[in-house]
Structure 1
Amino acid sequence: MEKGVPIRAICRAISVLQAVNRMGPLTMMEISRAADVPYPTAFRLVQTLIYEGIIEMDPDLKRYKPTALVQSLSCGFQDGELLVEVARPHIISLTRRIGWPVSISSRVGHNMILRDSTHANTSLTFERYYPGFTLPILDSASGRLCLAFTPVEEREALLRWLRVSKLVDSEYLKGASDALNLDQIKEQGYAVQGRNLHNLTPGKTASIAVPILKDGDFIAAMTVVFFVSSMSVDVALLRYLDEMRLVSSSISNILQDYSALNAS
């Protein structure tokens, strides 16, 4: 077995749990489709997760949903607390000024994980997104921005893992770094997604992401999401990019000050 090859059963179980947690309550067929696993496999995994008490079936709806026990999976995780504490007032203020929702996300494994957002603080959104929502690293503005700021060796290891795990089409991965223009993204300091296809309203929104840095290292992406029908990406860049950079820079500076204070 090649070193680093994931255990497929565990990967599929995680996919099922993420689907239920992200989109539930879901029927068994919806779970199978959302997690991209065969129906019999989805059935066995769901039964296992029910046995462990992590999900349950709503007897009235005949759908599956997460239980409170799913919160135990985050016990001990504190990495994002300071980031959210520092960024929260800044992204709320930015949303009040521009109207559009702003999110903070960072990489966990091969996905970008939402740490916080202001979707609940504005009417200019189709859905509300909560911490834990996942986005694919190759097909989101925040993910491409993260890859652009990731050291080359670490980036290549991540792309290699995606290839081995078969989570992403191998032909697409062959030229992923070149196709995504990662060097250009890092040089310009932002990434865009013309249409967000992997969210709760596929194709209806676009996004712009700028980095939050500490000691020059990428910590998270700050992303503004807007309706595709309202303006083009070029117009959005002209209107919002400078202000986004100022806000992300302020967050970065505060995180840097915390780091320096703790080091002294």
Structure 2
Amino acid sequence: MKGVPIQSFSRAIAALKAINRNRSMTMMEISRAANVPYPTAHRIVQTLLYEGLIEQEPARKRYRPTLLVQSLSSGYQHDGVLVEAARAPIVDLTRKVGWPVSIAIRVGKNMMLCDSTHANTSLTFAQYYPGFTLPLLDSASGKLSMAYADDDERAQILKWMRADQDIDPNYLAAAELALNAEGIRARGYAVQGRNYFNHTPGKTSSIAVPIFKQGRFEAAMTLVFFASALKLENALESYLPEMLATARTIGEALDKAVAEPVAA
């Protein structure tokens, strides 16, 4: 049936994504991250080793991605202009407010970081690099992306998620009801009170605003802060105007890049 994934292939992709995201993992960590039994994780790792996508670290039973993983994206050119347009503005924003800022786009059922300023501030619990993914319905950037998606596109994404055996249908139904896409578009931002799908579950909150290119949603810009340091409403009052201004600056740079002819 169309749209139904091959489970073994999906598991191998989940393992490779986890290894790439975490940079180095043990077999048990891979098993947990990919949500597969240990023997299955072992077979997946052996296959990825054979294909040259990962390697075992010297003198340690840990596995890390190889440069061959990076080569898989060689034909994909979506976010180069976006990162170039966003880099200076998000660094300036972090310099002003102190908190890290990231740029993310939707990739399948997740949001993927294209760039972030976690390395530019001490106000972060962990470093996040391009390629790190967050769930669509449990992140501020994901909610924002879903809200600005066309109705047909949003319906198709939710259909894919319902077909995913790894997603609890009760969770999905509750998250879908709580999305309130119309409210997010009316406000012009989305929030996540507690971020549970990152390196420090439950310790941070986030606000995401849209970046537009030629009037259409292009990416989400997210500011992350310690949940213990600020209430969400106070963070919105303090940072939302600067965030919206920064997003507009990035959008203007994207529009300019489209309008300018590409140099030969």
Give the TM interval when normalised to the shorter protein.
over 0.9
Question: How far, CA to CA, are the matches of 1:225 and 1:210 in structure 2?
Answer: 12
Aligned residue for 2:127? 128
Aligned residue for 1:240? 239
Aligned residue for 2:177? 178
Any idea what SS the aligned residue of 1:79 has?
coil
Equivalent position amino acid for 1:134 in 2: T
Question: How far, CA to CA, are the matches of 1:40 and 1:8 in structure 2?
Answer: 15
Aligned residue for 1:161? 160
The more displaced of 251-260 and 148-157 is: 251-260
TM-score by length of 2: 0.96
Aligned residue for 2:33? 34
Q: Are 1:225 and 2:220 matched, yes or no? A: no
Question: How far, CA to CA, are the matches of 1:24 and 1:187 in structure 2?
Answer: 39
Identity across matched positions, percent? 58
CA RMSD of aligned residues (A): 1.4
Any idea what SS the aligned residue of 2:229 has?
coil
Question: How far, CA to CA, are the matches of 1:80 and 1:68 in structure 2?
Answer: 19
* Structure 1, gaps ≥5 residues long: none
Question: How far, CA to CA, are the matches of 1:215 and 1:176 in structure 2?
Answer: 30
Any residues of structure 2 matched to 1:72-87 within 5 Å, and which? 72-87=71-86
Aligned residue for 2:209? 210
Deviations 1:194-241 (A, max 9, x none): 111111111111100000011221110000010111111111000000
Question: How far, CA to CA, are the matches of 1:120 and 1:59 in structure 2?
Answer: 27
Residue 7 of structure 1: CA displacement? 1.5
Question: How far, CA to CA, are the matches of 1:98 and 1:59 in structure 2?
Answer: 41
Aligned residue for 1:11? 10
Question: How far, CA to CA, are the matches of 2:159 and 2:59 in structure 1?
Answer: 44
Question: How far, CA to CA, are the matches of 1:175 and 1:134 in structure 2?
Answer: 21
Residue 257 of structure 1: CA displacement? 2.2
Deviations 1:164-201 (A, max 9, x none): 12232112323543311121111101011111111111
Any idea what SS the aligned residue of 2:222 has?
strand
Equivalent position amino acid for 2:138 in 1: D
TM-score by length of 1: 0.96
Question: How far, CA to CA, are the matches of 1:63 and 1:253 in structure 2?
Answer: 44
* Structure 2, gaps ≥5 residues long: none
Aligned residues between the structures: 262
Q: Are 1:187 and 2:186 matched, yes or no? A: yes
Equivalent position amino acid for 1:164 in 2: A
Please say if residues 137 and 176 of structure 2, whose CA atoms lie closer than 8 Å, have aligned partners that are also in contact: no
Question: How far, CA to CA, are the matches of 1:48 and 1:191 in structure 2?
Answer: 40
Equivalent position amino acid for 2:222 in 1: T
